[in-house]
Amino acid sequence: MKGRGWAVGIAAAALIPVLGLLLLVLWMGFWQNGPGEPVVYTLGHYRKIFSDPFTYKTFLNTIGFAATAVLAALFFAVPTAWLVERTDLPGKNLILLLVTLGALLPTFFTAMGWVFLLHPRIGIVNRYLMDLFALDAAPLNIASIAGMGWVEGLGLSSIAFILVVATYRTMDPSLEEAARVHGLGILRTLRYVTLPLTFPGIIAAAIYVFTIALSAFEVPAIIGMSNKIFTFSTFIFYKIQPLEELPSYGVAGAVSTVLIVLALLLSWSYFRVLRFSHRYAVVTGKAYRPRLVELGAAGRTFAWLFLGFYFIVAKLLPFLLLVWAALLRYFQPPSRAALEQVSLNNFYGLPWKLLLQGAWNTVILMMTVPTITLLLCLAISWTVLRSGLRWRLVFDAVAFLPHAVPHLILAIAAMFATLFLLHNAFSLYGSLAILVFVYTVSRISFATRIINNSLAQIHPELEEAAFVGGLRLFQVMRKILVPLLKPALVYAWIWMALLCYRELTMASVLVTSQSNVTLPMIVWSLWLGGSLNQAAAANLVVLAFMLPAVLLYFVFARRNRIAEAA
């Protein structure tokens, strides 16, 4: 095959930065001195974090936060998945689309809404409860581990839903039918057949969600940091952008290393459990739909109440609270007095010039990152699946790393590199290019996985026929593979563009100037600066900018029934 060397070369060039960033983090953890001084190695940072009680408190916080998030996510995801996959509930396509789309709603958006709802001082619900029962202190507190976990869980429920639905789909429906025919009722079938069989899949989803929550940044940053409740991610962030002291890259590197090890262990156990659950998956090849459980009037009402509650707490309530906050100068519960103060002043007062700059930068990111990522990942996928290269599985493993390694840490490593290693060669610090670079690296796992799945469905003989006909690899890719992979590529492109749009975690580290500011960053700086109501207004503007992209996704999903593919 002419051109194999090129493809493998491009794949390697895409994956070397992944390893580079990881090694950089490890190295950081052993670096004693501040930047600009001669390098001295030390174990001091590790000694320090392992002897500091604050580390253990943060560790417990993080575990509690992630565990709450898993519980909240599964609480909504599992029943919703069952209703969509196994009952005769009408309107399933809409539910499927809404929930999938929910995965794209920025978490910082809902987090802000929940602060207005349940904050101990300003939260509406707390104020009402205190007035109603004449309480001295707020009964509910969102600025707690449980509260933050709840909000994170709401955000992750979409991903949990997609994973649990997949478990139902790979399960042979006749396993449940056999129970029904031989005399087990709906509930007994659920208890003795459906739940035990989907259990490994649900556990796998739990581990997956737990891994994400463990390094989640947005919710702890929006809700926790100003209330001095830290998880690992905000702790690391605080170490490199402290308010009072000097940045401590060494400690950040050491904590990051611990977090990476944890995340890799979790990813490993995820695949173990997943393999176990696949032992239960039976592909019958028979295309009849499973018998749908008839809910009846009462069951249907209950199902709609449940789904309505889910939709309201996860999407509608935070949104309404943001709208209300955006219309007020100072946040207060709805009342006649408050209504008289409603105005659009927050919108007039927004830093519009900065917002336009942010919008422009965000659009550039949305155009470049998915495109570059797809081109690189096409080379990686081809190397892994088709090159016959002996090292192809190494490529596969490295391509998976950006999924397991917290994105905040990737960003910190890149920032460190631009600030202290490359500053003489390139001035990337504070540039849009560094955002493009890190965003691209962070999406390699996602894109490779999608292209791998699609490429595996294409028979290699389709390409071999072209090679025999004398086409070179580049032409085969352009004329045969890309057209055949098109639905998957378009889907991955749109999805990555939307993820770029909402990205705050990596931006929080890498955006250091006006020239590379992004929209979520503007919202967050307003929030951190204490202008909560202006931040709410900015958030709504950002959401409005996002609408065209979401519409594009809707149209595409309609045409390709993507909700099913996902």
Residues that bind another protein (CB under 8 A): 172, 174-175, 177-186, 188, 192-193, 196-197, 279-280, 282, 284, 286, 288, 291
Query: Measured from the CB atom, is 181 or 339 closer to another protein?
Result: 181
Query: Measured from the CB atom, is 288 or 348 closer to another protein?
Result: 288
* Whether 220 contacts 146, CB under 8 Å: no
How many helices (H) does the chain have, and how many strands (E)? 28, 0
Residue 94 CB, nearest approach to another protein (Å): 17
How far is Cα 541 from Cα 352, in angstroms, rounded to an integer? 10
How far is Cα 482 from Cα 493, in angstroms, rounded to an integer? 13
Residue 494 CB, nearest approach to another protein (Å): 25
How far is Cα 321 from Cα 333, in angstroms, rounded to an integer? 10
Query: Which region holds residue 185: left if phi is over 0, alpha if psi is between -120 and 50, else beta?
Result: beta
Residue 561 CB, nearest approach to another protein (Å): 11
Query: Measured from the CB atom, is 34 or 91 closer to another protein?
Result: 91
For residue 106, give the nearest of 490, 529, 432, 527 by alpha carbon.
527
* Whether 314 contacts 102, CB under 8 Å: yes
How far is Cα 250 from Cα 420, in angstroms, rounded to an integer? 13
Residue 192 CB, nearest approach to another protein (Å): 6
Query: Measured from the CB atom, is 175 or 419 closer to another protein?
Result: 175
Residue 92 CB, nearest approach to another protein (Å): 14
Residue 87's SS3 state is: strand
What per-residue string of b and e applies to 65-75 under the rule 16 or more CB within 10 Å gives b?
bbbbbbebbbb
Residue 185 CB, nearest approach to another protein (Å): 5
How far is Cα 349 from Cα 301, in angstroms, rounded to an integer? 45
Q: Which long-range contacts (CB under 8 A, 24 or more apart) does 337-344 make?
A: none
What is the per-residue DSSP string for 237-299? HHHHS-SSS---HHHHHHHHHHHHHHHHHHHHHHHHHHHHHHTT-------PPPPPBP-HHHH
Within 8 A by CB and 6+ apart from 185, the residues are none
Query: Measured from the CB atom, is 292 or 433 closer to another protein?
Result: 292
Query: Measured from the CB atom, is 88 or 320 closer to another protein?
Result: 88
Query: Measured from the CB atom, is 281 or 367 closer to another protein?
Result: 281
Residue 284 CB, nearest approach to another protein (Å): 4
Both tokens assigned to 13: 């060039």
* Whether 439 contacts 365, CB under 8 Å: yes
Within 8 A by CB and 6+ apart from 410, the residues are 21, 402, 438, 441, 442, 506
Count of alpha carbons within 13 Å of 278, Cβ hemisphere only?
6
Residue 552 CB, nearest approach to another protein (Å): 24
Residue 182 CB, nearest approach to another protein (Å): 4
Residue 287 CB, nearest approach to another protein (Å): 11
* Whether 293 contacts 88, CB under 8 Å: yes
Both tokens assigned to 277: 């659950």
Residue 172 CB, nearest approach to another protein (Å): 6
Q: Please tell me what DSSP assigns to residue 31.
A: B
Residue 204 CB, nearest approach to another protein (Å): 15
Query: Measured from the CB atom, is 197 or 481 closer to another protein?
Result: 197
Query: Measured from the CB atom, is 135 or 178 closer to another protein?
Result: 178
| Beta bridge pairs of residue 87 | 293
* Whether 356 contacts 375, CB under 8 Å: no
| Beta bridge pairs of residue 293 | 87
Within 8 A by CB and 6+ apart from 348, the residues are none
* Whether 379 contacts 11, CB under 8 Å: yes
Query: Measured from the CB atom, is 193 or 434 closer to another protein?
Result: 193
Query: Measured from the CB atom, is 186 or 389 closer to another protein?
Result: 186
Residue 566's SS3 state is: coil
Residue 166 CB, nearest approach to another protein (Å): 18
Query: Measured from the CB atom, is 191 or 479 closer to another protein?
Result: 191
Query: Measured from the CB atom, is 41 or 192 closer to another protein?
Result: 192
